[in-house]
Amino acid sequence: MTNFRFSTDLPEKQLFYDLFLTTGWNIQYKLEPDELYEALNQSWYCISAYHDNILVGFGRMICDGVVHALILDLIVHPDYQSKGIGKTILNKLVDKCRQHRIRDIQLFSVKGKAGFYQKCGFKDRPEGAPGMEIKKIR
């Protein structure tokens, strides 16, 4: 994993927005750069990955600091996938939870990526497990 630098500082707004756009998620969310950056600022912990000062990966968590943590927005630029960046980011997020003895770590995962998370120790929630959502689409 040479040539990659990891940082817990928030990335620059436009760098993150550009990385976020590579996911296609903004088709649904329709977020402006300022809105997205405000969400990042509300995170408990973030990890950014850089290659030659280019933001190539990112992951963040929201957490109550005691019981629950939720991993969100684990993104690796398509040109940099399969280089261990996502795994390193995920491990750093989980390590932060372990340091604080967080008892429950959950995450959102994109369809088709469950295998990646399973290799990193996550398990599918059982069918019928608690959890629901509501989405407000503009």
Q: Which residues are catalytic?
A: 117
Which long-range contacts (C-beta less than 8 Å, at least 24 apart) are formed by 34-39? 37/10, 37/13
Nearest-10 crossing angle of helices 33-41, 13-21: 110
> Looking at this protein, which amino acid is placed at residue 20?
F
Question: If residue 119 lies in a helix (H) or strand (E), which one and from where to where?
Answer: helix 114-119
- Distance (Å, rounded) from C-alpha 100 to C-alpha 103? 9
